[in-house]
Amino acid sequence: MKLKVNNQERNFSGDPQMPLMWYLRDELGLTGTKFGCGVGLCGACTVHVDGRAARACATPMQSLDGKAITTIEGLHPQGNHPVQKAWRDANVPQCGYCQPGQIMQAAALLNENKRPNDEQILSAMSGNICRCGCYQRIFSAVKAAAKEA
């Protein structure tokens, strides 16, 4: 099967049941997609599949034929997506481990909804755990990015 990862064509012929997360991390070395829970509960592995947020740990390879995947490494050529910039302005991260997933989730939200209200932001981000507790800054960074986007 064929798929695109960060705009590059890829062929995949391995175990169709393998989650996308391990393909990205182990085979392609795209380790910005983090392993947090493996079962869709934490959002650390969030990527975009055809522009929409998806949990790479719960997305089997077989579902991705012909799809375009974007990972944190491919979100913006210089790493300056409005969400990434807002994150840096607010010095959001503590340990940083959850942050690529948070950023991908927020970017997907703003793709779909340029002007989300507070409720919509909280509900879109509620699948992304930050054990360090950066939620207050994540929330304000998403709001700031929404103003920019």
Partner 1 sequence: MNANMRNIHKRLLLENVSRRDMLKGVFAAGGLVLAAQVFPRGALADGGSVNAYKTGADGMPGGTVWDPHVYVSIAPDGTVTIVTHRSEMGTGSRTSLPMIVADEMEADWSKVKIVQAPGDEQKYGNQDTDGSRSIRHFIQPMRACGAAARKMLETAAAARWGCSDMEVRADMHKVVHVPTGRSLGYGELAADAAALKTPRANTLELKDPSKFRYIGKGKVQITDLRDITTGHANYAQDVRVDGMKYAVVARPTVLGGKAVKWDEAAAMKVPGVVKVVAISGTPMPAKFMPLGGVAVVADSTWAALKGRDALKVQWDDGPNADYDSGTYRQAMAASARKPGKVERNEGNVDAALAGAAKVIEREYYIPHGHHATMEPPAAVARVAGGKAEVWACVQSPGGTRGDVAGVLGMKEEDVTVNVTLLGGGFGRKSKCDFALEAAMLSKAMGGTPVKVVWTREDDIRHGFYHSVSYQHVTAGLDASNKVVAWRHRSVSPSLMANFMPDPKRESSLELGLGLIDTPFNVPNLRLETGEAVAKTRIGWFRSVNNIPHAFAMQSMVAELAAELGRDQKDFLLEMIGPARIVDPRGTVSSELWNYGDPWETYPIDTGRLRAVVERAAKEAGWGKKLPPGEGLGIACQRSFLTYVASVVHVKVDKDGNVSVPRVDTAIDCGFCVNPERVASQMEGAAVMGLSIAKYTNITFKNGRVEQNNFHDYPVLRIGEGGMDVRTHIMPAGIDKPSSGVGEPGVPPFAPAFFNALHAATGKRIRNLPLGNQLTA
Binding site for ligand FES (CB under 6 A): 35-38, 40-45, 55, 57, 93-99, 130-132, 134
Look at residue 48 and give the partner it binds from partner 1, ligand FES, none, a contact being a CB closer than 5 to 8 Å depending on partner kind: none
Contact between 148 and partner 1 by CB under 8 A: the answer reads no
- CA neighbours closer than 13 Å in the CB half-sphere of residue 43: 20
Phi, psi at 8, each rounded to 5°: -110, 135
Shortest distance, position 131 Cβ to ligand FES, whole Å: 4
Shortest distance, position 31 Cβ to partner 1, whole Å: 4
Look at residue 30 and give the partner it binds from ligand FES, partner 1, none, a contact being a CB closer than 5 to 8 Å depending on partner kind: partner 1
72, 90, 115, 123, 132 from 135: Cα distances, Å: 19, 12, 19, 13, 9
